[in-house]
Structure 1
């Protein structure tokens, strides 16, 4: 038996493997590993996924779709590069 990929099930945008809202924790870890040398490409990919998800989710239920900020956090917010903090000097 081959393990299932943690890929989105459209138009619901649930994980095919664990049924959590995509991108689930495993999908996020996999994407970060796959795009570790290309964080900008990861952001572009996730932006495209966000665009598709907004269209699907609002079409399915326009009166109770997720809020824009929640969708941003779910699709893009977790992958945003963090600014490096200066290390304290002694």
Structure 2
């Protein structure tokens, strides 16, 4: 199991992958801001890919593009 990225107060709750603090789908806007400030773009994309890989079995089946955008698309 991969460790979920540390996003300060806005951490992911498994298995819902919603934010423990605000209840929005993780990574929520505050988590994204925190993570982007802690890592360079390449490192951030790699970490978020690992988190997406962890989330896939927990989340309902949906379009892969939604998961990609949620976890990785915003990192560019």
TM range (shorter): 0.7 to 0.9
In structure 1, runs of 5+ residues without a counterpart are 81-90
Using the alignment, how far apart are the partners of 1:10 and 1:66 within structure 2?
Answer: 18
1:74 corresponds, among 63, 70, 75, to 70
Count, aligned residues:
69
Alpha-carbon RMSD across the aligned residues, in angstroms, is 1.3
Provide runs of 4+ in structure 1 moved above 4 Å.
Answer: none
1:5-24 alignment to 2 at 5 Å? 5-24=9-28
Larger radius of gyration: 1
Query: Cα distance, 1:39 vs. partner?
Result: 1.6
Query: Cα distance, 1:66 vs. partner?
Result: 2.9
In structure 2, runs of 5+ residues without a counterpart are 1-7
What TM-score results when the alignment is normalised by the length of structure 2?
A: 0.84
